[in-house]
Amino acid sequence: MYGTRKRKSQRKANHVMAETRIIHGFHAVTARIRQQAESVLELYLDTQRRDARIRDLLKLAEDHHVRVIPVDSRRLDGLAGNVSHQGVAARVNAAQRVRHLDDVLDILNEPALLLVLDGVQDPHNLGACLRSADAFGVHAVIAPKDRAVGLNATVEKVACGAAETVPYITVTNLARTLRELQEREIWVVGADGAAKKDLYGFRHAGGLAWVLGAEGEGLRRLTRETCDELVRIPMLGSVESLNVSVSAGICMFESRRQRAG
Query: Residues within the annotated binding site for S-adenosyl-L-methionine?
Result: 213, 233, 242
Estimate the crossing angle of helix 123-135 against helix 244-260, to 10 degrees: 10
Q: Cβ(125)–Cβ(99) under 8 Å? A: no
How is residue 160 annotated by DSSP?
T
Distance in angstroms (rounded) separating the CA atoms of residues 8 and 133: 32
Instruction: Please enumerate, by residue number, every residue annotated as part of a binding site.
Output: 213, 233, 242
Q: Cβ(41)–Cβ(92) under 8 Å? A: yes
Pairing of the two strands 113-118 and 140-144: parallel
Give the Cα-Cα-Cα angle 27, 5, 163 (nearest 5 degrees).
Answer: 25
Nearest to 230, CA basis, from 199, 186, 184: 199
Distance in angstroms (rounded) separating the CA atoms of residues 238 and 206: 34
